[in-house]
């Protein structure tokens, strides 16, 4: 059953009286729906407020992917985010943050005309999302134009995404990452991998079709397991040489062909730090733009405190070590990376990164354990 249908059922059951006349589902239905509540917490909700806005946006986006004329019309009324060789155009925000520079279609047309382009470049715009006001959002790479001239025309700056990702607001970071990933996919898939013939994209940019064989290709992501390992009182973080100075994160690795999530997790931990995992629990997932386009699957794992001695594989990691709750709590309070020239203090990935979410979850669980009084049975 579609998840939106599940959501509707839960909302209706929450509002519908049972046979006794009291609000809520009867005991039989409660037992049936109990597993779903874990995934879809309901509380008191109104069906239209729960579903209509989201469903409307999703159906609108789906229509634009399949209706060429509707997509062309949506571009005329939508927002366009510019990139220059995959580097996003951003504007300065409050307290040192960055934000997207939303332009209208007419704004972009004016920029293109002022810089000597005939405006046909707009046809390369790719559908990336939809605002809560059902306004379509597109992205466009203007790498063929002079970078400084575009910045001056748009009153913005092209900022490398690796730097920008730490300064973007939480709602905008995933949008920028998705836009860059889609633009990169189109740039590297102009020819069919099976026939070598040119491929043609649909108007929304959601697929490409081989001109010789009609093979349809869709944007893809590489699965990556991200795991926060704990020995019960500490958590394990590592860093690669490519990381910014002082930054540590959860362990990560690509899922190999034929592997399941659990297999990949156990293999990566063994390869990188020489530990054998005991228990695994899934947390959540996230698209991640680095190094290209990855699908991060976030998990927690435990190892025996008696077998927690690290044997770091230097070809995989520059460093890895255990961190205490106090160290993690302090690092989570750091809002921005150290400035150039400052000492490389210990800090963590940005708040909207899945690694940060895993670390925060671990901290909260440790605090809960410390705050929960022990019973005589526990002792």
CA-CA distance, 1 to 100, in Å (whole number)? 37
Instruction: Please say if the pLDDT value at position 353 is more than 80.
Output: yes
Task: State pLDDT tens for residues 324-337.
Answer: 999 999 999 887 66
Instruction: Please say if the pLDDT value at position 176 is more than 50.
Output: yes
Backbone dihedral angles phi then psi of residue 72, each to the nearest 5 degrees: -60, -45
Please give the average per-residue pLDDT across 257-277, as a whole number: 97
Q: What is the pTM of this model?
A: 0.79
Residues 375, 376, 377, 379, CA torsion sign: positive
The two tokens of residue 159 are 């900022």
pLDDT of residue 95: 67
**Is residue 23 classed as helix, strand or coil in its secondary structure?**
strand
Confidence of residue 252 (pLDDT cuts 50, 70, 90): very high
Please give the average per-residue pLDDT across 21-48, as a whole number: 42
Confidence of residue 341 (pLDDT cuts 50, 70, 90): low
Residue the block writes with tokens 């995404």: 161
Confidence of residue 130 (pLDDT cuts 50, 70, 90): very high
Instruction: Please say if the pLDDT value at position 263 is more than 90.
Output: yes
Task: Look at 367 and 244; give whichever has higher pLDDT.
Answer: 367
Instruction: Please say if the pLDDT value at position 145 is more than 50.
Output: yes
Confidence of residue 3 (pLDDT cuts 50, 70, 90): very low
Backbone dihedral angles phi then psi of residue 375, each to the nearest 5 degrees: -90, 170
Q: How far is CA 252 from CA 204, 239, 240, 371, in A?
A: 33, 10, 10, 31
Instruction: Please say if the pLDDT value at position 269 is more than 70.
Output: yes
CA-CA distance, 222 to 242, in Å (whole number)? 20
Please give the average per-residue pLDDT across 335-348, as a whole number: 74
CA-CA distance, 296 to 311, in Å (whole number)? 25
The closest alpha carbon to 164, from 330, 353, 358, belongs to: 353
Instruction: Please say if the pLDDT value at position 25 is more than 70.
Output: no
Q: What is the mean pLDDT of the chain?
A: 85
Element holding 47 (H helix, E strand): helix 47-47
Task: Look at 136 and 244; give whichever has higher pLDDT.
Answer: 136
Q: Could you tell me the end-to-end alpha-carbon distance of the chain, in angstroms, rounded to an integer?
A: 46
**What percent of the chain stands above pLDDT 90?**
65
**CA torsion, points 213, 215, 217, 222, in degrees to nearest 10?**
-100
Structural domains in the chain plus CATH codes: 54-189 (3.90.79), 222-371 (3.90.79.10)
The closest alpha carbon to 231, from 112, 340, 376, 362, belongs to: 362
Task: State pLDDT tens for residues 296-325.
Answer: 999 999 999 999 999 999 999 999 999 999
Task: State pLDDT tens for residues 180-238.
Answer: 999 999 999 999 999 999 999 999 999 999 999 999 999 999 999 999 999 999 999 99
Strand ranges for the chain from DSSP E: 79-84, 87-92, 98-100, 103-104, 126-130, 136-141, 157-158, 199-201, 208-210, 216-217, 222-230, 235-239, 251-254, 279-288, 294-302, 319-323
Instruction: Please say if the pLDDT value at position 19 is more than 80.
Output: no
pLDDT of residue 49: 41
Q: Which of 30-44, 82-96, 272-286 has the lowest mean pLDDT?
A: 30-44
């Amino acid at each position: 059953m579609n998840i939106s249908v599940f959501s509707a059922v839960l909302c209706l059951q929450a509002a519908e009286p049972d046979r006794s006349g009291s609000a809520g589902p009867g005991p039989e239905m409660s037992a049936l729906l109990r597993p779903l509540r874990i995934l879809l917490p309901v509380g008191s909700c109104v069906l239209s407020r729960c579903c209509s806005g989201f469903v409307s946006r999703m159906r609108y986006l789906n229509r634009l992917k399949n209706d060429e004329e509707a997509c062309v019309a949506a571009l005329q009324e939508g927002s366009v985010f510019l990139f220059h060789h995959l580097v996003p155009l951003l504007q300065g925000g409050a307290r040192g943050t960055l934000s997207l520079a939303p332009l209208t279609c007419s704004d972009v047309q004016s920029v293109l005309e002022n810089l000597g382009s005939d405006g046909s470049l707009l046809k390369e715009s790719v559908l990336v999302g939809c605002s809560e006001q059902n306004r379509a959002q597109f992205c466009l790479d203007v790498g063929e134009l002079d970078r400084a001239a575009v910045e001056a025309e748009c009153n913005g700056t092209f900022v490398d995404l690796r730097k920008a990702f730490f300064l973007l607001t939480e709602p905008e970071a995933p949008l920028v990452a998705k836009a860059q990933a889609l633009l990169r996919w189109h740039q590297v898939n102009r020819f069919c991998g099976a026939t070598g013939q040119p491929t043609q994209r649909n108007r929304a940019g959601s697929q490409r079709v081989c001109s010789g064989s009609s093979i349809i290709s869709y944007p893809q992501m590489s699965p990556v397991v991200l795991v926060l390992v704990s020995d019960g009182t500490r958590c394990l973080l590592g860093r690669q040489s490519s990381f910014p100075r002082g930054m540590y994160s959860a362990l990560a690795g690509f899922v190999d062909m034929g592997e399941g999530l659990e297999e990949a997790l156990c293999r990566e931990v063994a390869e990188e730090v020489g530990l054998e995992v005991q228990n695994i629990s899934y947390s959540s997932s996230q698209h991640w733009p680095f190094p290209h386009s990855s699908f991060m699957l976030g998990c927690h794992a435990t190892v025996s405190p008696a077998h927690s001695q690290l044997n770091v594989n230097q070809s995989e990691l520059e460093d890895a070590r255990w961190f205490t709750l106090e160290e993690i709590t302090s690092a989570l309070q750091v809002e921005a990376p150290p400035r150039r020239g400052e000492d490389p203090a210990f800090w963590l990935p940005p708040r909207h990164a899945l690694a940060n979410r895993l670390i925060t979850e671990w901290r909260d669980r440790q605090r809960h354990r410390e705050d929960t009084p022990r019973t005589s049975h526990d002792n």
